[in-house]
Structure 1
Amino acid sequence: MSAARSTRKRILDAAAELFQRRGFSGFSYQHIAAQLGVRNAAIHYHFPSKADLGVALLSRYRDSFRWWTEQVERQGLTPAQKVARFLELESRYCLEGKVCPLGVVCVEFENVTQAVQAEAAGLAADLETWLAAVLEEGRRAQDIRLEGASRAVAVAILAQLQGGLQLARLRGSRHFQDVLQQVRDGLGISSAGLLVAAS
């Protein structure tokens, strides 16, 4: 990796950490520069404006999610197991004291540029489309208990996860675990992604 690509990656890594802990308005280039031991000019070289940085961050989240879904598909998991893995992915944010990137943008929606809004909307669509497809796959395979349209259920699950991560910052991670359990119970899957009998 070239020095320029390495610096760009380090900037994005540092920015992502600040983004998910402090929010988009809660950090500046100075925070990144101090953390990395570089000058602000080095950051501006790669990202002329903070909006450019925001778009790059969200684009990277989208790329990471696409990569993750590809890995999940290669593992030959059942639909229920795929959903369980997705819930584990969201759980990591909670364990690390972070919120989902979408949650950051939703809270600060009016304070970010249209380009950042559009990239966030793209990430939301990626998550919704994948989850809805897996839920529908699970309905056909009788691997997931699904009531209602798969896309509507996917939206409801994403909303629960977003809200759960926000509340966890106030009330502790146990509250997020309760949200996860409600999602699992609603779909009839265990934490291991196995179909459980309806009560």
Structure 2
Amino acid sequence: MNQREHILDAAERRMRGAGYNAVSFRDIAGDIGIKSASLHYHFPKKEDLGLALVQRYSDDFHEALTNRITDNMTAKERIGVFVDLHRDALVRQKLLCLCVVFGAEARGLPAPVNAAVAAFFTRNINWMSKAYTDAGYRTASSRAKSAVAMLEGGLVVADSVKDESVFEAAAEFVLRD
């Protein structure tokens, strides 16, 4: 793994736990045992780091989604894969979705980072809308918006109260016919 990816990994772990504004270059450098000047070499400004993080996170999320989908899956099964990716963050990784953490800080984020976060959510809504359309729902767009909001909100509340069943209730609602 190259140093840039190592920095991104450390920054993602930190920021998914504490948020964009609570993390400094010094924090990240300390986590991986380098000088903060080395971070500035790869990411001149924190905004550059934040933007790279969101773009990588979005690409990784959708690559994982694509890799888990097979041609013979029903629309409901595809939606289940989307739900499972969110569950993986909470249960396996014990972290929140990077974009939901950043989304909560939207008013204080640099504009390019905020735009990338918005693009992540829009991409997810569009993906879910297509899945709901394929499943025959006439209200696919509004259902997709609600589903994304419920899953992301379910992550936050479940993490806050330390009760995964809160997320599972949201997931059940999303998967309900």
Same fold (TM over 0.5): yes
Counterpart selection for 1:13 from 9, 12, 27: 9
Give per-residue Cα distances to partners, 1:12-70, cap 9 Å, x unaligned: 01111111111111211111111111110111100011111010001101211332243
Which one is further off, 93-102 or 66-75? 66-75
Is 1:155 aligned to 2:145, yes or no?
yes
Give per-residue Cα distances to partners, 1:47-97, cap 9 Å, x unaligned: 011111010001101211332243234453221111111111000121133
Aligned residue type for 2:96: V
Counterpart selection for 1:36 from 32, 35, 40: 32
Is 1:168 aligned to 2:158, yes or no?
yes
Counterpart selection for 1:181 from 156, 172, 175: 172
Aligned to 1:117: 114
Output aligned runs, 1:49-198, within 5 Å.
49-74=45-70, 76-95=72-91, 96-139=93-136, 146=137, 148-171=138-161, 172-185=163-176, 188=177
Aligned residue type for 1:42: S
Aligned to 1:197: none
Q: Which runs of 5+ in 2 are unaligned?
A: none
Give the distance between the partners of 2:66 and 2:170, measured in 1 at CA. Answer: 26
Give the alignment's Cα RMSD to 1 decimal.
1.5
Give TM-score scaled by structure 2 length: 0.92
Q: CA, structure 1 residues 113+158, in 2 after alignment: closer, same or farther (shift >3 Å)? A: same
Whether the 8 Å CA contact 1:132–1:150 is kept in 2: the answer is yes
Give TM-score scaled by structure 1 length: 0.82
Which one is further off, 48-57 or 168-177? 168-177
Q: Runs of 4+ in structure 1 displaced over 4 angstroms?
A: none
Give per-residue Cα distances to partners, 1:115-153, cap 9 Å, x unaligned: 0111111111111111111111121xxxxxx3x421111
Rg larger for: 1
Aligned residue type for 1:47: F
**Aligned sequence identity (%):** 27
Counterpart selection for 1:23 from 19, 27, 46: 19
Q: Which runs of 5+ in 1 are unaligned?
A: 140-145, 189-199
